[in-house]
Amino acid sequence: MEEKIFKNKEHNFRALLIIVFILHGCSSQGDSVKLSTGPQGGSWYPLGGALKTIIEKNIANTKIQTLPGAGIANVKAVESGKVELALANSVSTVDAIKGNPPFKTKAVNVCNIGSLYPQYFQIVTLEKANIKKFDQLRGKILAGQGPGNTAEVITRHILKVHGLTYRDLKRVNYGSYTDSVALMKDANADFFTLGTTIPAGAIMDLASVRDVRLLGINSTTLKKMRSLNPGYLRNTIPSGTYPKQNETIETIGYTTHLIGHCSLDNEFVYNLLDSVFENISDLAAIAKAMIGVTPGDMAKEIGVPLHTGAANWYKKKSL
């Protein structure tokens, strides 16, 4: 099968490639499939490796190429045809479907394959920075992920609803979770934002050498955040999740799900879901929130159209 790589050349050439891509479909069994994951140090990176192992083991002659990525960048990559599969965050994917910022146009090639687990937006501060309220972030140094990452957009949103922007911070650092932890360990940043599972390995790493505090997000802030994106959910981080965390922390969340280009071969997607569900324990070993996940959980409505192959799989499961 032809390799379908879309390059940023003339509009007509791109359009022609997209038409060929859609007409022929992609990723029938026996193909090489690109899977975009997340930054190193986060849960998506190893989760992508586990998905690669599961798919290659159970779907004959299929090779998976895993690539680093981020929530927003992954949706754009699937929409453009640069990758066939990706991990994504529901709030960002819904924004893409609707054409809301940071997306410039409505995504028409992105289909949902299955929800996997809840994500938690976490704001970690150094204890010695003495940050207890959002207005105390003014003049502080942020360690975060760059544009293309869902948590970066959420960081902008959380600052906005408190009357702040990046300009009100002393400095903004972009990098992987590993980079951010290094900055925090060396006291070269005051707070760190990320969206991932709990307990987050990056935070556990940081808390092993520094006293940290999680900044909570109350119901008033959640309401304001929902005015920017109605997909934000209420999540809580239980007491004891992290060292010296003696109280439950309210925060916001969303859903991590697996997306694919809508022209992916139906049989491939059907067999992919079969393989993933039969080996869910391998994924749960990386993302504990996936323990006990059912087909019903995976099929829940999140505002993103289901791929036909996925819909067929859920129908067989009587959902």
- Domain end (from 223, 254, 285): 254
155 and 230, same domain (yes or no): yes
- Domain end (from 231, 254, 277): 254
Tokens for 125, please give them.
């501060």
Cα–Cα distance for residue pair 131/272, rounded to 1 Å: 45
Which residue range is the domain that position 94 belongs to?
A: 11-117+257-316
Whether 4 is covered by a domain: the verdict is no
Task: Summarize the chain as % helix, strand, coil (round to 5).
Answer: 40, 20, 40
The CATH number of whichever domain residue 99 belongs to comes to 3.40.190.10
pLDDT of residue 13 exceeding 60, the answer is: no
Question: Angle at CA 13, nearest 5°, toward 8 and 17?
Answer: 90
Residue 177 zone, left/alpha/beta (φ > 0; ψ -120 to 50; rest): alpha
Cα–Cα distance for residue pair 50/285, rounded to 1 Å: 10
113 and 132, same domain (yes or no): no
Q: What is the per-residue pLDDT across 40-98, written as a single tens digit (0 to 9) for each? A: 777 899 999 999 999 999 999 999 999 999 999 999 999 999 999 999 999 999 999 99
**Residue 167 burial class via C-beta count within 10 angstroms: exposed 0-12, middle 13-18, buried 19 and up:** exposed
Nearest Cα to Cα of residue 92 among 65, 66, 119, 67: 119
DSSP-derived 3-state class of residue 99: coil
Q: Return the pLDDT at 289.
A: 86
What's the number of domains the chain is made of? 2
pLDDT of residue 23 exceeding 80, the answer is: no
Confidence of residue 231 (pLDDT cuts 50, 70, 90): confident
Confidence of residue 30 (pLDDT cuts 50, 70, 90): low
Report residue 22 CA to chain centroid gap: 25
Report CA dihedral (305, 306, 311, 315) to the nearest 10 degrees.
-70
Q: What is the per-residue pLDDT across 142-179, written as a single tens digit (0 to 9) for each? A: 999 888 788 999 999 999 999 999 999 999 999 989 99
111 and 126, same domain (yes or no): no
Instruction: Answer yes or no: are the C-beta atoms of 197 and 289 closer than 8 Å.
Output: yes
Whether 5 is covered by a domain: the verdict is no
Report CA dihedral (114, 116, 118, 121) to the nearest 10 degrees.
-90
Locate all alpha helices (DSSP H) within 150-294, ordered by sequence.
150-160, 177-185, 201-207, 219-228, 266-278, 280-284
Tokens for 79, please give them.
């929409």
Residues 277-283: what's their mean pLDDT? 94
Residues 290-304: what's their mean pLDDT? 91
Residue 82 zone, left/alpha/beta (φ > 0; ψ -120 to 50; rest): alpha
